[in-house]
Amino acid sequence: MFLFKIAYRNLVGAGLRTWLNVGVLSLIYVLIIWHQGLFIGMLKQASRDAIRDEIAGGQYWQKNYDPDDPLSLDDSHAAVPPSLMEIIRRGDAVPVLIRNASIFPGGRIQNILLKGIEPGQNILGIPTALLVTGDKTLPVLAGERMARNNSLRPGGSLTIRWRDVHGTFDAEEGRIAGIIKTNVASIDSGQLWVPLPDLQKMMLLPGEATMVVLKDGLTGPGEVSGWVFRDQNFLLRDIHELVRSKRSSSILLYLLLLFLALLAIFDTQVLAIFRRRREIGTLMAMGMTRLKVILIFTVEGMMNALLALAVGAVYGFPLLFITARTGIPLPQDYDRFGFDIGNRILPAYSAGLVLGTVLLVTLTVTIVSYLPARDISRLKPTDALRGKVS
Amino acid sequence: MPLVHIENMVKRYPMGGQDFIAINHINLDFEKGEFAGVVGPSGSGKTTLLNLIGTLDTPSEGSITVLGKQVERLSEKEAAELRCRRLGFIFQTYNLLPVYTVYENVEFPLLLLGIPDGERKKKVLDALEWVGLTDKMKSRPDQLSGGQAQRVSIARAVVKQPELVLADEPTANLDSENSRHILSTMSRLNSDLKTTFIFSTHDDKVVDYLRRRITLVDGTVSKDEVVSPGKKESGSESQET
C-alpha cells in the first residue's frame, strides 16, 4: 500500500510528463476497443442481415447445387420431398428455384440468376408480397445494386430470356414490382426474384426447387435423400472468413499503435530513471532496498495505465456509447468494398473485449516499466547519490 | 562499546586499470552524543568515510561496526534496515524529493518505518518546529531558499530520532548566515535529542562548531583532536597520527 501511495504521489507530482503518457495510453485503450468493437459489430451485423434475408434457419440444397458453379444450376433441381413439403405447408420453410437467364439492359445481354420464391412467404426478409400484382405481366423484384447497375425502376419493364429444362429458349416481358433494400449482396447483385409458380411454369419444372429455406430457429427433419442440409455456420463461413482476415490486419494496426505507445512509456521510464538517479540514491540512503525502488518505478508505470484507463473512460465511454447507438456511416460506395453490411456499422463492445484490452494494455505497460527499472538493481547507492550511472 | 568502531579499514576503487586508495588503514571510534567533523581537502576520503559509516558502501579491507552491526557482513536488506531505523543523512545538495511538499519530505522516513498516521503527523510537526519551518510545510523544494531546503533536509534526517546523523558537506552550498543557522540548529538537536552527528566538511564555519575534529589527508587520519566550540585552536586535546 505504501509503495502505491509513493508511486501515486510521484506520478501526480510529475505533472505534464504523467499527463502526456496518460493521454497517449488512454487514446490507445479507446482506439483498440473502438476498432475491435467495429469488427465485432461488422461481423454481428453482417451475420444478422444474412440470416434475416438469405439464410434463415439453414437450407436444404438439392444435392447438385453449388452456388460457386453456375453451370451446376441446370441439374440443381428436384421435386421437393414429402418431409420438406410438410414443413413448407406449415409455413416453416420456403422453397426456392434457381435458374440461369439473361436480360438485355441498354441493348446488351447480361446473364443473371432467376430465383423463384413463394410470394406469400415470411421466412426471408425479402418483400415478396410485392410479387402479388394480379397483373398478367411477370412481376419481378430486383435488389438495389442490381437496379442501380441496370437502370431498373419500379414499374419499368425488361425482357427476360431463359432456356427451359429441355434446353428450349423462350423469353417474356417482366415488370419491376419493387426494389429490395438489403445489405446482403448475394441476394441482390446479378439476380432477379419472381414468383415460384411462374418460374416453375417457365422452366417446365412443376413442384421442383433448388433449395428449401427453413425458418430461423427451426430444426429440420434430419437427413433427406437427394438433399444436403447446410446450417447457419456453414452458410455464414464466408462472412466469418472475411471478417477474420480484415480483423487480422486491424490487429496488426493496433499492435503497431500499442508498440508506439509502449515505446513512449519505455523511453519516459528510461529518462526518468536517468534523471532521478540522485533521488534513487536518496531513497536507498533513507533505507529503501533496491527491490522496493524497482517496485516503485514499476508501480508508477502500472499506475500510468490505470490512470489512463480512468481518463479513457471519461471521454471513451460516451464516445463508444454514442457510436454503438447511432453507428458509423459508411461512404456511398461501401458495398464495393466486398462487405455485405449496412450503410452504417454499429460497433459492438463486449465486456470480454473491454476487460481483455484493459488487462493486455495494463500488463504490457507494467512489463515495459519494469524493464528499465530493473537497471536500478545494478546501481550502487553511492553512485546514485552522486548522480552517476554505474 | 563505541557507536562506530573502525579498525584498520581500507577502501579501494578501481580507476583506469589500477586501484585508487580512498581510505588507507584508518582506526577510529565515535561515541554516543558526539558532534564530530571529518575535515580535509577534496579527495582526502571524507565522503567515502561517511558512506562507509552510513552502510552505503563496504570496506575493501578491515572492519567497521556501526551501532553494533558489522557493516561488511550486512546483507543489502539488513543495511537498508539499519539506515531506515537508526541512521539519518544530510546531503550537500539537500536531495529533497522534488515532487513532495516540505511536510511530505519530512514525513517520508516515517512512512518507510510504517508509523501510524497520528503519531507520524505529530513527529513531522515537531521536526519542522525544531528547524523553524512550520510555515513552509506546504511549499515544494523548488520554492525554498538553499538554507530552508537544508533545514528541511535536517528535519527529514532527525524526524525518526536516529542514533546517528551523517552530514556530508552540509553547508557547502550556503552563505555564512545560513551556515551558522544550520549549524546552530544541528548543535541544538545534538544537545536536546542526544543524537550523534558526524560531518564531512572543509568549511571553516563548520569547523568552529565542532567538538571533535578529525583531519583526513590522502585517506589517512593525520590529526584527531577534541576542540572547544568557537575556539578552534585553544584548549584542544590533539592526537597526531
| Contact (CB<8Å) B89/A278 | no
> Mean pLDDT across the stretch A315-332?
85
> Mean pLDDT across the stretch A53-68?
93
Lowest mean per-residue pLDDT among A20-34, A53-67, A191-205 = A20-34
pLDDT at position B237 is: 43
| Contact (CB<8Å) B112/A286 | yes
pLDDT at A389 over 80: no
Q: Which of A206, A230, A254 is the last residue of a domain?
A: A230
pLDDT at position A146 is: 92
- Cβ B165 vs Cβ B196: under 8 Å: yes
pLDDT at A387 over 50: yes
Alpha carbons A289 and B132: distance in angstroms, whole number? 31
pLDDT at position A381 is: 86
Lowest mean per-residue pLDDT among A47-51, A200-204, A344-348 = A344-348
- Domains of chain B are 4-235 (3.40.50.300)
Minimum-distance CB partner of B80 among A5, A10, A287? A287
| Contact (CB<8Å) B112/A281 | no
pLDDT at position B215 is: 94
Lowest mean per-residue pLDDT among A49-63, A322-336, B189-203 = A322-336
Minimum-distance CB partner of A285 among B56, B81, B111? B56
Q: Give tens-digit pLDDT for B95-118.
A: 999 888 999 999 999 999 999 999
Alpha carbons A369 and B166: distance in angstroms, whole number? 34
- Cβ B141 vs Cβ B105: under 8 Å: yes
Does A134 share its domain with A245?
no
pLDDT at position B241 is: 46
Residue of A9, A12, A18, A286 to mutate when probing chain B, most B C-beta within 10 A: A286
Give the DSSP H/E element, type plus range, for residue B28. Answer: strand B18-30
Sort out which chain A residues have CB atoms less than 8 A from B82's CB and list them.
287
| Contact (CB<8Å) A286/B111 | no
Q: Distances in Å between the alpha carbon of A118 and those of A121, A207, B90?
A: 6, 12, 94
Sort out which chain A residues have CB atoms less than 8 A from B112's CB and list them.
2, 286-288
The number of distinct structural domains making up chain A is 2
Q: Is A242 exposed, middle or buried (0-12, 13-18, 19+ CB in 10 A)?
A: middle
Average pLDDT value for chain A = 87
pLDDT band at A340 (very low <50, low <70, confident <90, very high): low
pLDDT at A228 over 90: yes
The residues on A that touch B, with CB distances below 8 Å, are 2, 5-6, 9-10, 12-14, 278-279, 281-282, 284-290, 380-382, 385
Smallest CA–CA distance, residue B230 to chain A, in Å, is: 31
Sort out which chain B residues have CB atoms less than 8 A from A382's CB and list them.
51, 56-57
Average pLDDT value for chain B = 89
Sort out which chain A residues have CB atoms less than 8 A from B76's CB and list them.
289-290
- Grid cell, residue A86, equals 410438410
Smallest CA–CA distance, residue B91 to chain A, in Å, is: 9
Smallest CA–CA distance, residue B105 to chain A, in Å, is: 11
The residue of chain A with its CA nearest to that of B115 is A2
pLDDT at position B236 is: 39
Residue A390 lies in a domain: no
Q: Which alpha helices (DSSP H) does chain A contain, by range?
A: 2-13, 16-50, 82-90, 144-150, 196-203, 232-235, 237-275, 277-285, 290-326, 351-373, 381-385
| Contact (CB<8Å) A288/B97 | no
Alpha carbons A2 and A27: distance in angstroms, whole number? 29
Does A242 share its domain with A381?
yes
> Mean pLDDT across the stretch A347-358?
88
| Contact (CB<8Å) A290/B76 | yes
Does A106 share its domain with A218?
yes
Q: Give tens-digit pLDDT for A166-179.
A: 999 999 999 999 99
Does A216 share its domain with A245?
no
| Contact (CB<8Å) A284/B80 | yes
> Mean pLDDT across the stretch B138-154?
92
- Cβ B111 vs Cβ B169: under 8 Å: no
> Mean pLDDT across the stretch B160-186?
87
pLDDT band at B234 (very low <50, low <70, confident <90, very high): very low
The residue of chain A with its CA nearest to that of B54 is A285
Sort out which chain B residues have CB atoms less than 8 A from A2's CB and list them.
111-112, 114
Does A372 share its domain with A251?
yes
pLDDT at A74 over 80: yes
Smallest CA–CA distance, residue B109 to chain A, in Å, is: 7
Smallest CA–CA distance, residue A14 to chain B, in Å, is: 7
Q: In the A/B pair of chains, how many CB contacts fall below 8 A? A: 64
The residue of chain B with its CA nearest to that of A282 is B95
Smallest CA–CA distance, residue B179 to chain A, in Å, is: 22
Smallest CA–CA distance, residue B220 to chain A, in Å, is: 20
Residue A62 lies in a domain: yes
pLDDT at A334 over 60: no
pLDDT band at A51 (very low <50, low <70, confident <90, very high): very high
pLDDT at B240 over 50: no
Does A219 share its domain with A354?
no
Q: Give tens-digit pLDDT for B119-141.
A: 999 999 999 998 889 999 999 99
SS3 category, A204: coil
**Radius of gyration, CA atoms only, chain A:** 32
Residue of B50, B52, B58, B89 to mutate when probing chain A, most A C-beta within 10 A: B89
pLDDT at position A361 is: 86
- Grid cell, residue B14, equals 578501481
Q: Distances in Å between the alpha carbon of B104 and those of A384, B124, B225?
A: 22, 9, 39
Does A47 share its domain with A157?
no
pLDDT at position B209 is: 84
Map grid coordinates 397483373 to a residue. Answer: A135
pLDDT at A370 over 70: yes
Minimum-distance CB partner of A289 among B76, B91, B98? B76
pLDDT at position A101 is: 95
- The sign of the CA dihedral B106, B110, B116, B122 is negative
Q: Quick one: how far is CA A363 from the chain centroid?
A: 28
- Cβ B221 vs Cβ B28: under 8 Å: yes
- Cβ A297 vs Cβ A369: under 8 Å: yes
Instruction: Determine how β-strand B212-217 pairs with β-strand B35-39.
Output: parallel
Residue A116 lies in a domain: yes
Q: Does B208 touch chain A (CB under 8 A)?
A: no
Does A243 share its domain with A374?
yes
Map grid coordinates 545560513 to a residue. Answer: B178
Lowest mean per-residue pLDDT among A258-267, A345-354, B56-65 = A258-267
Does A200 share its domain with A267?
no
The proportion of chain B whose per-residue pLDDT surpasses 90, expressed as a percent, equals 67
Q: Which of A168, A195, A230 is the last residue of a domain?
A: A230
Q: Distances in Å between the alpha carbon of A356 and those of A349, A360, A361, A363?
A: 11, 6, 9, 10
- Grid cell, residue B213, equals 575534529
Residue of A276, A294, A382 to mutate when probing chain B, most B C-beta within 10 A: A382
Q: Give tens-digit pLDDT for B3-60.
A: 999 999 999 988 888 889 999 999 999 999 999 999 998 889 999 999 999 999 999 9
Q: Does B80 touch chain A (CB under 8 A)?
A: yes
pLDDT at A10 over 50: yes
pLDDT at position A319 is: 92
Diameter of chain A measured on Cα atoms: 101
Does A18 share its domain with A103?
no
pLDDT at position B238 is: 46
Does A24 share its domain with A77?
no
Chain B, residues 2-61, CB within 8 A of chain A, namely 51, 54, 56-57
Q: Does B163 touch chain A (CB under 8 A)?
A: no
Model-level pTM? 0.70
Residue of B46, B112, B113 to mutate when probing chain A, most A C-beta within 10 A: B112
pLDDT at A6 over 50: yes
Does A201 share its domain with A105?
yes
Q: Residue A123's CB: how many other CB atoms inside 10 A?
A: 22
SS3 category, B43: coil
Q: Is A246 exposed, middle or buried (0-12, 13-18, 19+ CB in 10 A)?
A: middle
The ipTM value here is 0.89
Q: Does B116 touch chain A (CB under 8 A)?
A: no
- Grid cell, residue A371, equals 524493464
pLDDT band at B232 (very low <50, low <70, confident <90, very high): very low
- Cβ B192 vs Cβ B198: under 8 Å: no
pLDDT at B235 over 50: no
Alpha carbons B130 and B151: distance in angstroms, whole number? 9
Alpha carbons B195 and B189: distance in angstroms, whole number? 7
Q: What angle do CA A167, A170, A173 make, to 5 degrees?
A: 150
AA letter at A219: T
Residue B156 or residue A71, greater confidence: B156
Smallest CA–CA distance, residue B138 to chain A, in Å, is: 14
Where in the sequence is the domain holding A33, given as residue range(s)? 2-52+238-385
